[in-house]
Amino acid sequence: MLTKTLRPVLVLLALSRVAAAQASLDITLKHGTPAEARTREQLERLLATYNVSPWIYTKTIVIDEQAIPFSHPVLTIHTRHLRDDELLLSTFVHEELHWFLAARQEATDQAIGDLRKLFPTVPAGGTAGARDEYSTYLHLLDCYLEQQADVELLGELKTKQVMDFWATDHYTWVYQTVISRSQDIGRIMRDRGLIPAR
């Protein structure tokens, strides 16, 4: 059993390792604009506030006010959520989780096969789906993991608010399906070993 004096020391050591790991991220600005600089400051503050280390798979991040967020080849986020910490944090985790799935391509493809049986027809393009059918299935996996990470980081109420916002903003069918069929998607993720370790 830990003594009362040793317990706080161990907590501080753990937190300092998390802070050090998160501080080693290289966050650069694409255009050097004030909005990009403020977004970098916002993201650095969020990384110092929340323990996102279980969901960090990259070391380099670019902030580009003209881009739609994407994960590869370099994780890139935009400046759109300067006034909303939860949306920026969720966007960051979403893009990091693409790296998690890409590193497990065989299991990801198997899970997509399972999803094709569950949802034989999915939207592609527009605001409802991703750029093509494969990407829509991939985003069912990624957005499910984003939802689960958000619950751990933000709690259930704020996660519901974030997911409800996304479900009317972009990938609307994907997010609506993640919200309504989360148990079914979660079962596939667990069966295929696609739940990140904590």
What is the chain's mean pLDDT, rounded?
Answer: 91
The per-residue pLDDT for 24 is 85
- Give the closest residue to 172 by CA, choosing from 134, 130, 138: 130
pLDDT tens-digit map of 87-136 = 999 999 999 999 999 999 999 999 999 999 999 999 999 999 999 999 99
**Residues facing residue 38 across a β-bridge:** none
The per-residue pLDDT for 4 is 52
Specify whether the CB–CB gap between 129 and 173 falls below 8 A: yes
Burial of 91 from C-beta contacts in 10 A (0-12 / 13-18 / 19+):
buried
Q: Which domains, and CATH codes, for the chain?
A: 18-99 (3.30.2410), 105-191 (no CATH)
Mark the ranges of the chain whose per-residue pLDDT is less than 50: 1-3, 5-21
The per-residue pLDDT for 67 is 96
Specify whether the CB–CB gap between 40 and 29 falls below 8 A: yes
